[in-house]
Amino acid sequence: MNSTGWWTLHFDWGPKGSYYCTQIYFNFDGTFGYLAGASEGTWTEVDGAIIWRYKRAPNEEGNTVYSGVISRNVMSGIMFSTTGGKGHWYAVKKGTKLFLNKENPSLPYLVEKQANAKIDPAGRPQ
């Protein structure tokens, strides 16, 4: 697989199904960030499995870890932080054409999806 490049990361801290999204770039050198060439942490991929870890901030005791499986231009998995946060995620590589069923915007659960994220992808409160 070729994980390098731009991905749209959809993440949900908790079982609510309220996904938030951000762009993330996986660099050739095993680092990743929100900008090409930036380094928010490290990643590796082996035999269809991928894992990335945000680097530890000086005032934090641990790292947030994402792990999952990758197949062509889509990947998904779980994440956890040392502060007790758990969740699930999926990502789609930039340029991938998706054919999805359109959701009915009047469904009540979609109202919650439009709220602002209270926890960022690295597991830090905003």
Tell me, yes or no, whether 121 lies in a domain.
no
pLDDT category of residue 16 using cuts at 50, 70 and 90:
confident
Asked if residues 75 and 91 have their Cβ atoms less than 8 Å apart, the reply is yes
Residue 11 covered by a domain: yes
Is 120 inside a domain boundary?
no
pLDDT cut 70: percent of the chain above it:
74
Mean pLDDT confidence for 117-124:
71
Q: Is residue 26 part of a domain?
A: yes
41-46 vs 49-54, strand pairing mode: antiparallel
Query: How far, in Å, CA of 64 to CA of 17, rounded?
Result: 20
pLDDT of residue 34: 85
Query: Is the residue at 28 inside a domain?
Result: yes
Count how many domains the chain has: 1
Residue 118 lies in a domain: no
Segments forming the whole domain that contains residue 44: 5-113
Q: What is the DSSP letter of 25?
A: E
The pTM is what?
0.74
Q: What is the CATH number of the domain that holds 87?
A: 2.40.128
User: Domain for residue 125, yes or no?
Assistant: no
Q: For residue 109, how many C-alpha atoms fall within 13 Å in the half-sphere facing its CB? A: 7
